[in-house]
Structure 1
Amino acid sequence: MIEAHNRTATGWRGMIAASSTALVVVLAPAAVPDTADATAGGSTVGGNTHPVVTWGASADRTDATMSDKTVRNIVHTSVTGSDLRVSLSNAFGTVPVTFDSVYVGDASDGSASVTGNRRVTFSEKSSITVPPGAEVLSDPLPGRIPAESTLAVSVHTSGDPGTVTGHNVANQTSYIATGGDHAADLAGDAYDATTSHWYWVDGLVVEEPLQVETVALFGDSITDGNGSTAGANHRWPDYLARRMTSRPRPKQFGVMNEGISGNKVLADGSGVSAQARFDRDVLAQPGIDTVVILEGINDIRHETATEPEDLTAAYRQLIRRAHANGVCVVGATMTPWAGGSLYSEERNRLRIEVNHWIRTSGQFDSVIDFDKGTRDPDNPKRFLPAYDSGDHLHPGDEGYQAMADTVRLRQLDCNR
């Protein structure tokens, strides 16, 4: 066993130097130009690469018990890349966790079965112990994964792992084998339970040319994808990733979803506050170039924020912290929710005032107007009916598609 390292903004870059291992090339799906947002220029420059996150999910505390169990996490990537690395988190752990068997394979739809399952190592060891509060990044797996791959990351821990770090609203079915280590299994027979959470894994990192960077979509349940079809990858970050992977190279972004359902800017609750998790979930991420911030509606709904300045002061701090790290910050207006949980006219007026500040303050490098992109023109306090999941707070699949379509891809690159 080897010692794990805390992930910091500098630590990531030191841990993930580009691998010189020869690659097995797998062709990605053919690109379809997005002419309105295409970046002019020649082909991708080879040679110099850096780490890019192709999939990510915010770490949080879970109530799972995982002693001598194997979890097969089903995840869906964004950009193509080589030398895949797996990030495992014990950020909310209470005891050291030993990951003694970790594998990555191609997932079969609706099944725990996989193909091409390969062992993941850590500093060339098959096992690693990660202390509470820490995260670890694996060695690279030689080869190239296509864009929009559905992968199974199977993880077994030895002993009692204590409080399990994971992601509580995955909106995806994953699988648990309740009897021992089955991470290497190709068949899914041993996986006798299902879960709607992800456990331990919080990121997949690939090597890509310097023109490909990472965008973190930082938010609450609307970024998390509540109200979308489970297992269909119909969150607005998924739709954005599909647009991104069809964008002509060289300029693309790996898309990581850093939403936590119920999250607030100003207070802990469902996950630690946006201000408290910003460094871990955004600034410390490999290849981070841009963050899109869509947070605040839960502060308004629960009256954690009662004046516009409560939120705008916090936004200013997030912007300054990002800019100090050379990261672009895109502000996103909060979507309407008349008829939804905890709605009132007074609270909606606060949403409108904060949205006005987001649009007009000039503090953000760019602004995405999700409010305008999803509201009913005849009743702007509500979603357009076709975009409503039915609870009047979260979009449905069509609404999430509309959100992704609202983004002008050039907004994500401000060259700070």
Structure 2
Amino acid sequence: MFSASWIASPQLPSEGFTPNWSREGFWRQSVRQAVRLSAGGARVRVRLSHAYGTSPVRIAGASVGRTAAGAAVRPGSLVPLAFGGAGDATLPARGELVSDDVPLTVAAGESVTVTLYFDTTTGPATFHAQAFTSSHRGDGDLTADTGGAGFDAATESWYFLSAVEADSGRADAVALFGDSVTDGFGSTPGADRRWSDALAERTGRPVLNAGIGGNLLLNDSAWYGEKGIHRLRRDVLDQPGVDTLVVLLGLNDIGFSETDEQPTYKPAPVLEAEELIAGHRELIRQGRVAGLRVIGATLPPFGGSDHWGEHAAKVSHELNEWIRRSGEYDAVVDLNRALADPEDPDRLLPAYDFGDHLHPNDAGYEVMAEAVSALL
């Protein structure tokens, strides 16, 4: 049985947080992307998404292998990918494409590298903005290249690649659903120190990261993805092998209205706790209908950040108390208390603060993983 071993939530092409290639797309180029698996197996397959495409994309070639340094692939591990038995395929606009499975023995915690070759113009590319690891681009068909020297450009985003699945036989994956805290902002780039990575290491279970930096529970955003209550099905419920959902969402709905300095913090309506509670109830409902155990996470402290203000403080306290005390979630992980500074509980403990008073650092993400692992 194939189950998801790694995922990334698709996003609309946009300028993004850091320079990326989503708007320009690709032409006569290969894109090489490394991802860390959370479940192993003897065979793998990849899933490609063009959820935000307006025209089909031709995949002229593709391969997968074990990751080596930089853009290199371990010699002897590179395997061509096929689609319905053919070496090329069409990725439909607003659709997805799943490769045939191929023999490649991989272990949980191991990274694999997927290479895609585009011989015609793709147009703007569906992507995931914040990968916190490097993807590489080079001219021509480099799908069979193991050395990586032909890849002469890099960004920290993933393109078209939305999942790698393995024949792990596992049906106990944990999906983390959230915003930039789940996505891994503040963790060390290239080191796989997100809280999803830490949780997989602690529990030995597949852990899928369905975070999008800046994501909102109740509103769509041009930069930060579709609203949580709409994207949950595509990004989590339709993934094979998931049995537990952890929800950590609402911080941006509360905080975007506290500042006018970021033009991308739009829409930013001033919301009350009751509106966010209704959104959480909708996520719980969807998860339960899909047969998942649904765990609620309290929002981490964010006092002193650009998301903080008098109204944000009030609403975050009310939402967290509802998550803790309502009994509507199957279980609750209190990340707010786990990460708080005892001297000022509205702020992150300095040892866990990335530096913006909003995002944890590597140590903070370890604490988050430890807290939720006790519930699994």
User: When the two structures are superposed, what TM-score results if normalisation uses the length of structure 2?
Assistant: 0.91
SS at match of 1:359: helix
Per-residue CA distance 1:98-125 (angstroms, 9 max, x = gap): 1121111111133444431111111211
Unaligned runs of 5+ in 1: 1-49, 246-252
Aligned partner of 2:212 in structure 1 is 260
Report if the CA contact (8 A) 2:196-2:209 is conserved.
yes
Aligned partner of 1:167 in structure 2 is 128
- Structure 2 CA distance for aligned equivalents of residues 82 and 254 of structure 1: 16
- Structure 1 CA distance for aligned equivalents of residues 103 and 73 of structure 2: 22
User: What is the aligned residue count?
Assistant: 353
- Structure 2 CA distance for aligned equivalents of residues 399 and 261 of structure 1: 17
- Structure 2 CA distance for aligned equivalents of residues 72 and 209 of structure 1: 27
Which contiguous aligned blocks of 4+ residues in structure 1 show a shift greater than 6 angstroms? none
What letter is aligned with 2:6? W
Which of 60, 70, 89 lines up with 1:128 in the alignment? Answer: 89
- Structure 2 CA distance for aligned equivalents of residues 327 and 193 of structure 1: 41
Residue pairs, 1:130-209, within 5 angstroms: 130-177=91-138, 179-209=139-169
What letter is aligned with 2:83? F
**Residue 343 of structure 1: CA displacement?**
1.3
Aligned partner of 1:233 in structure 2 is 192
What letter is aligned with 1:94? T
Identity %: 39
SS at match of 1:189: coil
Match status 1:338 vs 2:303:
yes
Match status 1:273 vs 2:227:
yes
Match status 1:283 vs 2:237:
yes
Which of 68, 74, 78 lines up with 2:38 in the alignment? Answer: 78
Aligned partner of 1:52 in structure 2 is 3
Aligned partner of 1:61 in structure 2 is 12
What letter is aligned with 1:235? R
SS at match of 1:61: coil
User: When the two structures are superposed, what TM-score results if normalisation uses the length of structure 1?
Assistant: 0.82
Per-residue CA distance 1:256-289 (angstroms, 9 max, x = gap): 1110000000101111111121110011111121
The CA RMSD over aligned residues, in Å, is 1.4
Report if the CA contact (8 A) 2:203-2:373 is conserved.
no
- Structure 1 CA distance for aligned equivalents of residues 159 and 290 of structure 2: 29
Match status 1:400 vs 2:361:
no
Unaligned runs of 5+ in 2: 14-22, 258-268
Report if the CA contact (8 A) 2:199-2:373 is conserved.
no
- Structure 2 CA distance for aligned equivalents of residues 149 and 101 of structure 1: 24
What letter is aligned with 1:400? Y
Match status 1:92 vs 2:52:
yes
What letter is aligned with 1:333? T
Report if the CA contact (8 A) 1:114-1:188 is conserved.
no
SS at match of 2:173: strand
SS at match of 2:2: strand
What letter is aligned with 2:240? P
